[in-house]
Amino acid sequence: MREYDAIFIGAGQAGPFLAARMAAMGRKVVLIERKFLGGTCVNAGCMPTKALVASAKTAEVARRASEFGVKIDSEPTVDMSVVAARARKVTLDARSSLASWFDSFETMDVVFGHAKFVAAKTVFVDGKHYTAPQIFINVGARPRVPGIPGLADVPYLTSTSAITLEELPRHLIVLGGSYIGLEFAQMHRRFGADVTIIERGPHLAPREDTDISEAIADILTKDSINVLLNHKFLSVAQDESDVIVRTDHGEVHGSHILIALGRQPNTDDLGLDLAGVETDRRGFITVDERLRTTADGIWALGDCNGQGAFTHTSYNDFEIVAANLLDGGDRKASDRILGYGLYIDPPLGRVGMTERQAKEAGHAIKVSTRPMSRVGRAVEKGETLGLMKLVADAETDQMLGAAFLGVGGDEAVYGVLDAMNLKATTEKLRWAVPIHPTVGELVPTLIGDLRAT
């Protein structure tokens, strides 16, 4: 039995930072990872996919060069092996940096292997037992592969395997019209593939308001992506040359299928029942507002706890637990105002409630929208697709949420995110003097245009 002050299961974007914080205080900690340091973000999420998005954007800029008075003598081509190698280097560099950082802590051990609970405070890894009074689970999530008839007999891609492609698909069929699927759809279209998105519901990115979802669809169709809505998946098959997706509206033929139908937590093989750690029906670990599980002395951080599915919410989980355990704080997951991005081009920056959510929550609201075609910075850059939207409480004047779909939207939305965290009213923010020309300078204008709905 190897004894520690704390055990960390999983090396994503929450546990390792807490482990390092404790090790810096002289506590003896062990970080156990079954595969790669860095979790989804470093290895199969943010870093490699945004590197791919950057390559796709560069290809698109080259194609549009003549619009800006720049002459390129031939149609740009994409070398997928170089694109994949660049994304891989981004991942490997980040992974190496983490390993070097962890090696710098004298009281921190890193163990590679599959950890399973054998008792409340004991885990088993490769023939060795580890025990500690505090255990932190940070095992993340993986792509969910549904039981569509025939799918198991056909080669398919997920967001994890798609980032390693070194050959361009002839025709990529994306099953699912949410965030991950949309990013891969657009990047591969810009690399040169034909792309079809098949979505079961009536809108892409169904979490968003209808006007935002429709604007997203408009952006993708302008990239010559075929978008099919309200299609129920019936089966998948393969013939000599194609993979075939059968829906209630007919057949779609392509060369590759990407499954982008959600994610599931990596909790099914941890022996959680032996530790008294409960999960919900989808496998997410049940936690309270301070991220404590149903077992004393065990916490769940990051994607596996169902409290957020983003790198920044995972890191905030670390901040919450560190503040409460090490700094005498009393922070809660419910205190955070959620923001996130969709990294198609142009991107979507989102914070707080949608218009629909605000109404469902019982708020009397006022709303303001502005097309990006009326944003000077967007016009100057020749990127006028999308819109900006702001939602506020009509009675308290507090900002409830914003959606900035357009060039720079993922950065410009910070003006609203920061103001919401500071609980600033729209009246206070209205009189800010922003920098011109920027996208964010339109926030005071949006506030001035707020109208009750």
- For the annotated catalytic residues, the residue numbers are 436
- From the CA atom positions of the chain, what is the Rg in Å? 24
In Å, the largest CA–CA distance within the chain is: 70
Please state, in angstroms and rounded to a whole number, the distance separating the CA atoms of residues 185 and 175.
Answer: 10
* Coil, helix or strand at residue 398: strand
Question: Is cis: bond before 437, omega within 30 of 0?
Answer: yes
Residue 152: how many other CB atoms lie within 10 Å: 10
Burial degree of 242 (CB within 10 A; 0-12, 13-18, 19+): middle
Segments in 268-375 forming alpha helices (H): 272-275, 311-326, 355-360
Please state, in angstroms and rounded to a whole number, the distance separating the CA atoms of residues 383 and 306.
Answer: 36
- Between the alpha carbon of residue 210 and those of residues 52, 144, 342, 428, the distances in Å are 28, 26, 16, 29
Contact 47, 57 (CB under 8 A): no
Contact 225, 181 (CB under 8 A): no
- Between the alpha carbon of residue 426 and those of residues 368, 389, 390, 395, 432, the distances in Å are 12, 14, 10, 11, 10
* Coil, helix or strand at residue 9: strand
Please state, in angstroms and rounded to a whole number, the distance separating the CA atoms of residues 450 and 453.
Answer: 9
Please state, in angstroms and rounded to a whole number, the distance separating the CA atoms of residues 313 and 396.
Answer: 27
Residue 79: how many other CB atoms lie within 10 Å: 12
Please state, in angstroms and rounded to a whole number, the distance separating the CA atoms of residues 345 and 347.
Answer: 5
Contact 84, 163 (CB under 8 A): yes
Listing DSSP states for 97-111 in one string gives HHHHHHHT-TTEEEE
Contact 197, 179 (CB under 8 A): no
Residue 210: how many other CB atoms lie within 10 Å: 13
Burial degree of 240 (CB within 10 A; 0-12, 13-18, 19+): exposed
